[in-house]
Structure 1
Amino acid sequence: MTTETSPKTDELLTEVTPDWEPPMPPTDLIFDDGELLESKRHRIAMNLLIDSLYQHWSDRSDFFVGGNMFIYYSSIQARNRDFKGPDFFVVLNVEDNTDRQGWVVWEEAGRYPDAIVELTSPSTASVDIGSKKDIYEQTFRTPNYFIFNPFDKNSLQGWHLVNHQYQELQRNDRGWLWCQRLGLWLGTWEGTILRESAVWLRFYDSEGNLVLLPGEVAEQERQRAEQEQQRAEQERQRAEQEQQRAERLAAKLKELGVDPDSV
């Protein structure tokens, strides 16, 4: 028995062609919505993490650090403009291209951040620990995620991805959290930066040493050079005193009729 198709069915079949391709991701991406960080302290806290990590890894060029930068990870999300990027994130084993305006996953071989820090506040806390945390866990698969409120020294929390789920990290005896992907601790430090005195979130190396900012490294080197100069001056004065003692002894021996060279 021959099965015939109706004209309407034939029309539907002709609509699907082998040349059909899925829509491409949008190219008219925006990278600045004009919104500023919560406060001056939030801005300083973000730059502190960025600058100190670049200083710590000054001999490396295989990573990218972003701050308050959009991350685009899907066509739907990009078209809806429904997501803003983390306050601080790091992607490892990529070219450090500082010309990036944002992080566009489909232009970066599908790479997502390896570590993320959100500088939270009362107005963003529910999102940072809710929908954003879910995205970082379930979509980004970011191994390490941290949140910290620059106005609350006890607010540091962190998670590590285990079997595709975030497990909360436990603080060490100093109250620090270990970031496995970066090989660094995240902990608090009290001091003044850009005339702002606060308890800041800082990196510490595996031995517990504070990861310094470029200005702190320059100051440390200045102090070291000053100490070396002081030691050199002390050595010069000591040598001068020894020479003066030798000269006085030689003069005394001459007074006694003794040849100094024979002593």
Structure 2
Amino acid sequence: MTRLNPQSDPPLSPRQTLPTMYDLLSENPEEPGLSDEFHFLQSSLLLFTFEPANWSSDMVFSACDLNLYYDVRHPGWYKRPDWFGIVGVSRLYDQRDLRLNYVIWQEQVSPFVVVELSSPGTTEEDLGQVRNQLEKPPTKWQVYEQYLRVPYYIVFNRYTNDFQAFRLVGGHYEPAQLQEGRLLMPELELSIGIWQGSYRNINRAWLRWRNASGNLILTPDERAEKLALRLNELGVDIDKL
């Protein structure tokens, strides 16, 4: 019978020997830019606070990780922005259904602003530093600049909290001038910039929408909390409402 040596070290648990999330790829090397948890949270924060003051909510559409088909000559080509916002198009497809994707030759309205959240494998393409290969689809930068002519393009790197904004000028993207760290979009009566705060109980730097004056546009949860505080100040028992 085999006896255990009481002097020997105890066996390591799988938690100690298996690779951690920092050791494993979070993206498919053949398809860089797949969403991680940060992508989901940051994109949802942008979606919940994109409220152009001069547009009816029924004519504002924004989406996260939705296929964007942009070339009628190559109907299978698409890009998948981390987030994009559009004004002047019905929030619903044909004013009645949720979209499976966004098809530019049907919608006839291009995004007004696109945000890409840089990953180590996508930074160069996000910033237009990669040329498309012969007989391959154009890069994201080319599509947003030349095909869709998106007026505002934003790149945010969560590892460095670097926020870069570009504006379409004469058919080409040029670095946009920031005011007090924010990119102003007078056409939408909005601005966007870095905000240090807690979203979904995660405190860090986030890219966030503000109104033209610089005040934060609140999320639904923040509005509910603000209302609850106000009712409490007035002596209203929320549980009885």
Instruction: Report the TM-score, using the length of structure 1 for normalisation.
Output: 0.66
Structure 1 stretches of 5 or more lacking a match? Answer: 1-33, 231-263
More strand by share: 2
Larger Rg: 1
Distance in 1 of aligned mates of 2:91 and 2:126? 27
Contact 1:69 1:85 in 2 (8 A): yes
The one of 126, 130, 133 equivalent to 1:128 is 126
Contact 2:192 2:207 in 1 (8 A): yes
Counterpart of 1:43?
40
Instruction: Report the TM-score, using the length of structure 2 for normalisation.
Output: 0.72
Counterpart of 2:99?
100
Counterpart of 2:234?
228
Distance in 2 of aligned mates of 1:35 and 1:146? 18
Distance in 2 of aligned mates of 1:106 and 1:59? 23
Contact 2:55 2:87 in 1 (8 A): no
- C-alpha distance after superposition, 1:115-168 (max 9, x if no partner): 111111221111111231222111101111111122322x11111112212221
**Quick one: which amino acid aligns to residue 58 of structure 2?**
S
Distance in 1 of aligned mates of 2:154 and 2:64? 14
Structure 2 stretches of 5 or more lacking a match? Answer: 1-30, 129-138, 237-241
Distance in 1 of aligned mates of 2:113 and 2:47? 12
Distance in 2 of aligned mates of 1:57 and 1:66? 19
- Percent identity for Structure 1 against Structure 2: 30
The one of 131, 141, 151 equivalent to 2:159 is 151
Compared CA separation, residues 67 and 218, structure 1 to 2 (3 A): same
Counterpart of 1:90?
85
Q: How many residues align?
A: 192
Contact 1:114 1:144 in 2 (8 A): yes
Distance in 1 of aligned mates of 2:222 and 2:56? 17
Q: 4+ residue runs of structure 1 moved beyond 6 angstroms?
A: 55-58
Compared CA separation, residues 58 and 166, structure 1 to 2 (3 A): closer
Post-superposition offset of 1:35: 8.9
Quote the RMSD (CA, aligned, Å). Answer: 2.4
Name which of structure 1's ranges 57-66 and 194-203 shifts more when overlaid on structure 2: 57-66
Contact 2:157 2:163 in 1 (8 A): yes
Compared CA separation, residues 58 and 191, structure 1 to 2 (3 A): farther
